[in-house]
Amino acid sequence: MSENYAPKSAVGRWFNDRLPLLNLIYGHLLPYPTPKNLNYWWTFGGILTFCLVTQIITGLVLAMHYVADADLAFASVEHIMRDVNYGWLLRYIHANGASLFFMAVYIHMARSLFYGSYKEPRELIWIIGVFIFLLMIATAFMGYVLPWGQMSFWGATVITNLFSAIPLVGESVTNWLWGGYAVGSPLLTRFFTLHYLMPFLIFALVILHVWALHVPGNNNPEGINVVQGSQDTVPFHPHYVVKDMFALVVFLVVFAGFVFFVPNLLGHTDNYIEANPLQTPEHIVPEWYFLPFYAILRSVPDKLGGVILMVSAIAILAFLPWLDTSKVRSAKYRPLYRQFVWLFFANVILLGYLGAQTADGLFLIIGRIATAYYFAHFIIILPLLGYIEKTKPLPKSLSEPVLSPEERQMKAAASGASA
């Protein structure tokens, strides 16, 4: 496909002969064979790329006005909001963009879980994805510290203090991170530096993610292997380019709704109070997208244990391709997994709800059960299901499940005749 490509213009040909960049882009974006039955859950890859680019562009221009110093940061953000031309818009796009980025990435991950996209031969795509998710978490957390409001400051305090749970060297590590004996200016400046760097690392991983994806090709809702270039595939352009664009427009409606009508809905009012190292807010909560992990952290009465469990909750995802012992990918053909995966999604949402509540009484007990279930899903349910579940018969092609019985018969007769 890409080998046959020749640019139409003379300049294009001249360039392409010396550096076949156009070949590369063409091969991956235009005739790239894609399963013909991808549903709208598959459009989030494109949406996420859009989110990343939006964050990089808005972040770049915000950095032109922001000052990463503990005495000036809060005022510089207010300066962006009040004085800088369209500063309010750029900041609201960046802040809400982070939330929508996570919304999209959770849907993208849920799709992979439901349709078994992480399974052989796509394990590495999934693992690269887990690393992207980790970098997103770090980037979002550091970004939230930059406005230097009360939630920024105390969020940074609580999270950097997690490192003090490390035995023996904990205190030296936290002092090293802080560049002092408490959260302050040195930490803010280095967080800004890293917050600026990480999106570019994410971008590099996204290239690897897509590259690894284009080796076996996309998974699909049936979860069966599709022969590239067969009747089961269509070229990426125009079919999925148009579908992705439409989904993106719908996504942008939601995005614009947040930015223009409820720009502070997902934020916390305490972050409009400047950081005060002498006063902790009554109730510290992280941004909504961290709440499930925060609930896991708080469900353990032991400091080190809580930290280990929270880190494990993300790290365990990387082992998912081997924890799930079933060979059948799509939940469509796995009657038991189909129920358990919904239960898992519900449990994560429950954990998110609990993360926003105070950790005592009944909430704490439910939090512990939900945490235990989160891990049980990965280390008990998934390995066992592969052995005990009776899966439904898989279709031979993508067309088979959507054909009427008559059409199916005709097709069988035709293939019988040709054979």
Judged by CB under 8 A, the stretch of 212-220, 254-262, 296-304, 379-387 that binds other proteins is 296-304
Q: How far is the CB of 189 from other proteins (least distance, A)?
A: 11
Q: Could you tell me the two tokens for 124? A: 């590495």
User: How far apart are alpha carbons 376 and 382 in whole angstroms?
Assistant: 8
User: How far apart are alpha carbons 174 and 237 in whole angstroms?
Assistant: 50
Residue 238 preceded by cis peptide, ω within 30: yes
Near other proteins by CB under 8 A: residue from 20, 31, 184, 395: 184
Q: How far is the CB of 303 from other proteins (least distance, A)?
A: 5
Per-residue contact string for residues 74-103; x = within reach of other proteins by CB under 8 A: ------------------------------
Interface with other proteins, residue 180, by CB under 8 A: yes
Interface with other proteins, residue 269, by CB under 8 A: no
Interface with other proteins, residue 160, by CB under 8 A: yes
Helix then strand then coil, in percent of the chain rounded to 5, is 70, 0, 30
Number of residues forming the site for other proteins (CB under 8 A): 35
- CA distances (Å), 13 to each of 19, 264, 277, in order? 10, 50, 62
Nearest Cα neighbor of 117 from 2, 53, 50, 39 is 39
Near other proteins by CB under 8 A: residue from 121, 238, 257, 301: 301
Per-residue contact string for residues 354-383; x = within reach of other proteins by CB under 8 A: ----xxx-----------------------
Q: Which residues of 231-268 are buried (b: 16+ CB within 10 A; e: fewer)?
A: ebbbebeeebeebbeebbeebeeebeebbeeebeebbb
Near other proteins by CB under 8 A: residue from 94, 111, 268, 298: 298
Per-residue contact string for residues 219-258; x = within reach of other proteins by CB under 8 A: ----------------------------------------
Near other proteins by CB under 8 A: residue from 24, 182, 227, 256: 182
User: How far apart are alpha carbons 244 and 252 in whole angstroms?
Assistant: 12
Closest CB to other proteins among residues 264, 269: 269
Near other proteins by CB under 8 A: residue from 28, 79, 190, 214: 190
Residue 121 preceded by cis peptide, ω within 30: yes
Q: How far is the CB of 316 from other proteins (least distance, A)?
A: 23
What SS3 state is found at 33?
strand
Near other proteins by CB under 8 A: residue from 241, 284, 316, 385: 284
Q: Could you tell me the two tokens for 103? A: 């919304």
**Bridge-partner residues for 33, per DSSP?**
235
Judged by CB under 8 A, the stretch of 14-22, 32-40, 177-185, 208-216 that binds other proteins is 177-185
Given a contact cutoff of 8 angstroms between Cβ atoms, the answer to whether 356 and 285 are in contact is yes
Judged by CB under 8 A, the stretch of 31-39, 160-168, 238-246, 250-258 that binds other proteins is 160-168
End-to-end CA distance of the chain: 29
Judged by CB under 8 A, the stretch of 51-59, 122-130, 240-248, 277-285 that binds other proteins is 277-285
Interface with other proteins, residue 311, by CB under 8 A: no
Near other proteins by CB under 8 A: residue from 61, 138, 158, 241: 158
Judged by CB under 8 A, the stretch of 119-127, 129-137, 180-188, 310-318 that binds other proteins is 180-188
- CA distances (Å), 67 to each of 37, 79, 80, 411, in order? 49, 10, 10, 67
Closest CB to other proteins among residues 35, 155: 155
- CA distances (Å), 26 to each of 13, 16, 73, 219, 238, in order? 13, 11, 44, 21, 13
Interface with other proteins, residue 308, by CB under 8 A: no
User: How far apart are alpha carbons 286 and 14 in whole angstroms?
Assistant: 53
Near other proteins by CB under 8 A: residue from 26, 44, 154, 290: 154
Judged by CB under 8 A, the stretch of 26-34, 74-82, 169-177, 322-330 that binds other proteins is 169-177
Other Cβ atoms closer than 10 A to 32: 21
Q: How far is the CB of 71 from other proteins (least distance, A)?
A: 13
Our CA dihedral for 104, 106, 109, 111, rounded to 10 degrees, sits at -70
Interface with other proteins, residue 176, by CB under 8 A: yes
> What are all long-range contacts of 48-51, with beta carbons under 8 Å and residues at least 24 apart?
48/101, 48/104, 48/105, 48/108, 49/206, 50/248, 50/251, 51/97, 51/100, 51/101, 51/104
Near other proteins by CB under 8 A: residue from 17, 53, 71, 186: 186
Contact residues: other proteins, CB under 8 A: 154, 157-158, 160-162, 164, 175-184, 186, 190, 277-284, 298, 301-303, 306, 358-360
